[in-house]
Amino acid sequence: MKFALIAHDNKKPEMVAFVMRRLRFFNLENVKIVATGTTGKMIRDAGIEKVETVQSGPMGGDAEIAAMVSRGEITAVIFFRDPLGKHPHEVDVSMLMRLCDVHNVPLATNHTAGEILLEHYQNQIKP
């Protein structure tokens, strides 16, 4: 399974804490991670070296992940959005969310939804 992890700037500390609490799960061999540029760097610094990165969000990273969703490469997207901020690449973010719906890929856009979603996949992996 492959998870896309993305966080807007104000939500990056939350994403790092989220990942740190699940280091064991994210470090499992059959769990893959792709992240937008800056989010990915922070996740790597937090102890997950295998994270694959695409461009930073404003430079096209959300669009790259949207393409992966369209190709059926992503199990679920966890995207901690900042609903109070303005983002120059809002159209890319909308496209990513739309394509998750088109392809029926689970999308968690806040911390609580992310917890619930990961719980599901953690239970799938348990023997």
Q: Which residues are annotated as a binding site for substrate?
A: 8, 12, 36-39, 56-57, 89
Is position 92 annotated as part of the catalytic site? no
Catalytic residue among 62, 82, 92, 101: 62
Q: Which residue is nearest to ligand 13P (CB)?
A: 57
The torsion region of residue 104 among left (phi > 0), alpha (psi -120 to 50) and beta comes to left
How many residues interact with ligand 13P (rule CB under 6 A)?
13
Is 75 one of the binding residues for ligand 13P (CB under 6 A)? no
| Residue-wise DSSP of 80-120 | E--TTS--TTHHHHHHHHHHHHHTT--EE-SHHHHHHHHHH
Is 8 one of the binding residues for ligand 13P (CB under 6 A)? yes
